[in-house]
Structure 1
Amino acid sequence: MTGPALSDAHGSSGARLIDGKGFAARLTQDIATEVSAFYDRHRITPGLAVVLVGNDPASEVYVRNKALQTHRAGMRSFMHMLPATTSQEELLGLIARLNVDPEIHGILVQLPLPGGLDPVAVTNAIVPEKDVDGLGVVNAGRLALGLPGIVPCTPLGCLLLLRHYVGDMRGQHALVIGASNLVGRPMAQLLLQEGCTVTVAHIDTRDTAALARQADIVVVATGVRELVRGDWIRPGATVIDVGISRVSLPGGRTRLVGDVKFDEVAPHAGLITPVPGGVGPMTIACLLRNTLDAARTIVEGRAP
């Protein structure tokens, strides 16, 4: 795709903002055009099945937004809202049916799952070609080996932003803070494939701040609110903030913040993602991209 021109917007202290919201809108527009062309070739509309177990309000909002964006891209959305009492056997039975349904090209089970359900077994029950979250062992293994496969949506979104705003990353030192299977580990693999020298910091790392001061690129995905402070960042570094938390304000109001203390980090960073409006919109856009790629693989035999 052709991304938007580099934004002239700056943080309060001069850091240039990475416009994830605008980039995601353009990506989604490109996907809609490709979905239309796919339908013209095959008379098939890519279909995404999203499974939500339980009634977590935040997950419900997120899932409904995914459905809305799926329709906007010209794809079909199939919602499966299951009660928290759903058994492992019942959930696996639904996935088995979706695996063989010709109208479904992508399957996503919203995490976290209620207690008593095994997320690893559930994720790996999805056939690899429909695993649009990219979390199953087959797609994770292909990523680790540098082979074509479906890449987890959030790390893919971060990578697309970095490619557009930073460009050639060969030889740059990248620090990934957080080692989850959802973001940190696949992000490190993607950065390695870009030619970066990659360090991964995690809960047992002794001095993450010292590592951050050496990095050209810092990707933060810990779920720890405003963990990264201003004196962690070397001048001109690129900072990608994956975290999102809601904090209470006086008068019953709330606001969203990330894993980076933005007002402190912005004076040091050269480029930085805001929260909200940074990585979040890219996650859903990349889910749509993965669903289209999955449909191409299933219908045309084309590798992602």
Structure 2
Amino acid sequence: MSAKIIDGRACASSIREEVADHVVRLKVGQAITPGLAVVLVGEDPASEVYVRNKSRQTVEVGMNSFEHKLPAETSEGELVALIGQLNTDPAVHGILVQLPLPDHFDSDFVIGAIDPTKDVDGFHVSNVGLLWTGQKALVPCTPLGCLILLRYQLGDLSGLNAVVVGRSNIVGKPMAQLLLADNCTVTLAHSRTRDLAAVCRSAEILVVAVGRPQMIPGDWVRPGATVIDVGINRIVAPNGVGKPRLVGDVNFPSAFEIAGAITPVPGGVGPMTIACLLANTVTACCRVNGLPEPEGLTACRPERRVARG
């Protein structure tokens, strides 16, 4: 029996509609237009495409988009000074510095310069700490998108055995905390996990974010499990003929025959990341102005207290 495909594009479209509806209410009722500032340093082609998509979708939902493109030779001091200006700009409710930065930057230092209330990427240590202590935080967009897909697919996640493969600060660690906050039993696995195949096979929920093309084969998947593939890897054909194609960290054809549900690549987690960025910007705008957050989006927020015991 083949798996159900989890349609990230459809889910992301629903989130963008909710965001757009709330933006209209903010404009009409409060004369406030949420604004997102995106900062790109250098000329990385993949980052440029991603920033264009972010800016386009920001405008499409009715928000203000502020793009700042800086040359690769920009100094760290100049970038931090720009961030300081954006921190104090009342028209800007969300700030995103596109990663990766050129090698001469200290990314942690740069992210730390962002006002935590405008940190819509959820990477500032203040938001990380709030997330891990179960308090109201701005949550990294990709893990948040994964959580929403899981809730849409499975409903209540309480008691499910979840395995996250990958321990990055951007996806793996916050994903583990979000699942824990939803009362899953969570294993955070990685490249040095002993018998990783057996650990993966124990998962009712398997989230893979390792950045290695098709690392997880189908026979590592528990029959009926829900698989969230965060990986986006560009590979070429073995003979070098034909266009490169995108694949995930999971071997989709083999996992598709075993899983109960699975995200495709592309069309799974990717669209959710930008949709959640837009949602985070509206949330940040509402919080700084002391206004109610969007009801539909609030239902997807991860600020659920972990039960004691």
Length-normalised TM-score, structure 1: 0.94
Q: In structure 1, how many angstroms separate the alpha carbons of the residues matched to 2:50 and 2:102?
A: 17
Partner of residue 78 from structure 2, selected from 84, 87, 90 = 90
- Deviation sequence 1:106-165 (CA, Å, 0-9, x none): 000000110110000111110110000000001000000000110000000000010111
Where does residue 9 of structure 2 map in the other structure?
A: 21
Shift, 1:302, TM fit? 5.5
**Identity of aligned pairs, percent?**
57
Q: In structure 2, how many angstroms separate the alpha carbons of the residues matched to 1:263 and 1:273?
A: 12
Shift, 1:248, TM fit? 1.6
Where does residue 237 of structure 1 map in the other structure?
A: 225
Partner of residue 123 from structure 1, selected from 85, 89, 111 = 111
Which stretch has the larger CA shift, 217-226 or 243-252?
243-252
Shift, 1:59, TM fit? 0.4
Paired letter, 2:259: A
Aligned ranges 1:201-240 → 2 under 5 Å: 201-240=189-228
RMSD: 1.1
Paired letter, 2:8: G
Q: In structure 1, how many angstroms separate the alpha carbons of the residues matched to 2:241 and 2:253?
A: 22
Paired letter, 1:197: T
Aligned ranges 1:103-122 → 2 under 5 Å: 103-122=91-110
- Deviation sequence 1:84-113 (CA, Å, 0-9, x none): 101110010000000000110000000011
Unpaired runs of at least 5, structure 2:
299-309
Paired letter, 1:57: P
SS across alignment from 2:245: strand
1:42 and 2:25 are equivalent in the alignment: no
Where does residue 264 of structure 2 map in the other structure?
A: 274
Partner of residue 298 from structure 1, selected from 277, 280, 288 = 288
Shift, 1:14, TM fit? 1.2
Shift, 1:301, TM fit? 5.7
SS across alignment from 1:300: coil
Paired letter, 2:172: G
Length-normalised TM-score, structure 2: 0.92
Partner of residue 152 from structure 1, selected from 119, 135, 140 = 140
Q: In structure 2, how many angstroms separate the alpha carbons of the residues matched to 1:94 and 1:202?
A: 37
Partner of residue 247 from structure 1, selected from 217, 224, 235 = 235
Q: In structure 2, how many angstroms separate the alpha carbons of the residues matched to 1:217 and 1:56?
A: 34
1:286 and 2:280 are equivalent in the alignment: no
Q: In structure 1, how many angstroms separate the alpha carbons of the residues matched to 2:81 and 2:59?
A: 26
Shift, 1:26, TM fit? 1.2
Q: In structure 1, how many angstroms separate the alpha carbons of the residues matched to 2:241 and 2:184?
A: 46
SS across alignment from 1:246: strand
- Deviation sequence 1:224-244 (CA, Å, 0-9, x none): 110000110110000000000
Q: In structure 2, how many angstroms separate the alpha carbons of the residues matched to 1:27 and 1:219?
A: 21
Q: In structure 2, how many angstroms separate the alpha carbons of the residues matched to 1:88 and 1:204?
A: 35
Where does residue 76 of structure 1 map in the other structure?
A: 64
Shift, 1:252, TM fit? 3.3
Q: How many residues were matched structurally? A: 292
Partner of residue 180 from structure 1, selected from 159, 168, 181 = 168
